[in-house]
Structure 1
Amino acid sequence: MVEQLAASVSNKQIGILGGTFNPPHLGHLIIADQVMTQLGLDRVLFMPDATPPHVDQKLAIDADDRVNMVADSIASNENFGLELTEVQRGGLSYTYDTMLELTQKHPENKYYFIIGGDMVNYLPKWQHIDELVKLVQFVGVRRENYPVDSPYPVLWVDVPLIDISSTMIRSRVKHGQSIKYFVTDQVAKYIKERQLYRD
């Protein structure tokens, strides 16, 4: 199923939602769907990273498990897919390197890179940001108390505030609390069967 979801896409307007997805939750799905429908995109690809640059390594589970959970999460939406470039390449991934590779593979596609409003402030610190903004259109998901000003072109989208985080879900699993309605049933089953986030 992972291979099918990661099938190549060409000549389209493609949203890219990158992240650690540790685990993926309904907030991710809502953001992807809202951006896709509001901007009229053809598809949104979920792009798990190989080695999360900002996550305590003790908390980061294997990339294969995260990919499988994303695949389970998006299987019911034909407009969602997997982008495995960063996982297959391994190591720390920089957005510029990844998007350069994707745009070279599919120069006919237009890519929309989706980030939270809290990340927009950090764009000046992104590697090769001046070149990156020529490769992708950034899409900012508006967040309360975060400014919408940026020296770079950002398309802003309003998405209902869903106060769910992967950190919260991991904590709930560790303490034996329910995660129903925070993640899809398939992901909840996957976490339980593989005893993830117990330690």
Structure 2
Amino acid sequence: MSKIGIMGGTFDPIHLGHLIAAETARQQCGLHEVWFIPSCGPPLKSDEPGVSSQRRFEMVCGAIESNAAFRALDIELLRGGVSYSYDTVTELQRRYPRNSFSYIIGSDRINDLPQWYKIEQLAKYITFIGLERPSDPILIEMLPSYLKERITLIQMPAIDISSTAIRGKVSEGQSVQYLVPDSVLSYIRRYSLYES
């Protein structure tokens, strides 16, 4: 059975923090692969993605192409609507019954887990890898017991990069070199993405 990590999110755009988080989780948790699954619409965020799903998916594909352990799936984009992790995991288990899955999520998402759609059922099917940052501690003691036992905490390098900040820099004409992979930077420039 292969151990697969899932990296979800809008990836608008994908940046080096996402890739470092995925590689850190892969190494520390002995994952065979990490699958990047861009969401169509995030359930716990009010803002819509800044660029089309196709553009976001193409940036993810370009960003991960040099790592043989990384893979991109467009199942949430093809499904459309709000992307619920429960629906995604159900579909993944149907397609890949020989794999075991773990969601790789940051401190903020771990603390939000009780709000996730059908979280009790989801927690029966998968585990969670929590990336703990010193600036954003995980409040593990505040979580229900059915979640505590399904979470593995690992230390995340202190890298303060966000897609929101990257979009803001691009719109203001500032450089985002070294915040995103070169392929993503070239893509943003080629299609004039995030410009005001």
TM-score > 0.5 by shorter chain: yes
The equivalent of 1:168 in structure 2 is 165
Would you say 1:98 and 2:88 are equivalent positions? Answer: yes
In structure 2, what is the Cα distance between the partners aligned to 1:71 and 1:132? 27
In structure 2, what is the Cα distance between the partners aligned to 1:103 and 1:91? 20
Distance 1:55 1:181, change over 3 A: farther
Would you say 1:148 and 2:102 are equivalent positions? Answer: no
Q: Secondary structure at the match of 1:180?
A: coil
Deviation at 1:134, TM superposition (A): 1.1
Mapped contact 1:142–1:148 kept (Cα < 8 A) = no
Would you say 1:56 and 2:53 are equivalent positions? Answer: no
Deviation at 1:12, TM superposition (A): 1.1
Would you say 1:180 and 2:177 are equivalent positions? Answer: yes
Deviation at 1:60, TM superposition (A): 2.2
In structure 1, what is the Cα distance between the partners aligned to 2:15 and 2:37? 14
Mapped contact 2:133–2:157 kept (Cα < 8 A) = no
Deviates more, 1:29-38 or 1:82-91: 82-91
The equivalent of 1:37 in structure 2 is 27
User: What do you get for the CA RMSD once the two structures are aligned?
Assistant: 1.2
Mapped contact 1:36–1:42 kept (Cα < 8 A) = yes
Q: How does 1:14-33 map to 2 (within 5 A)?
A: 14-33=4-23
Would you say 1:197 and 2:178 are equivalent positions? Answer: no
Query: Which segments of structure 1 move beyond 4 Å, counting only runs of 4 or more?
Result: none
The equivalent of 2:117 in structure 1 is 127
Mapped contact 1:118–1:143 kept (Cα < 8 A) = no
In structure 1, what is the Cα distance between the partners aligned to 2:140 and 2:19? 23
5+ residue gaps, structure 1: 1-10
Task: Encode CA deviations 1:23-49: one digit per residue, 9 max, x unaligned.
Answer: 000000000000000111100000100
5+ residue gaps, structure 2: none
Q: Secondary structure at the match of 1:195?
A: coil
Aligned-pair identity in percent equals 43
The equivalent of 2:63 in structure 1 is 73
Deviates more, 1:130-139 or 1:119-128: 119-128
Task: Encode CA deviations 1:92-136: one digit per residue, 9 max, x unaligned.
Answer: 111101101111221211101111111112111111111101111
Q: Secondary structure at the match of 2:42?
A: coil
Deviation at 1:51, TM superposition (A): 2.2
In structure 2, what is the Cα distance between the partners aligned to 1:179 and 1:103? 37
In structure 2, what is the Cα distance between the partners aligned to 1:193 and 1:171? 18
Q: Secondary structure at the match of 1:121?
A: helix
In structure 2, what is the Cα distance between the partners aligned to 1:181 and 1:26? 8
Distance 1:22 1:55, change over 3 A: farther
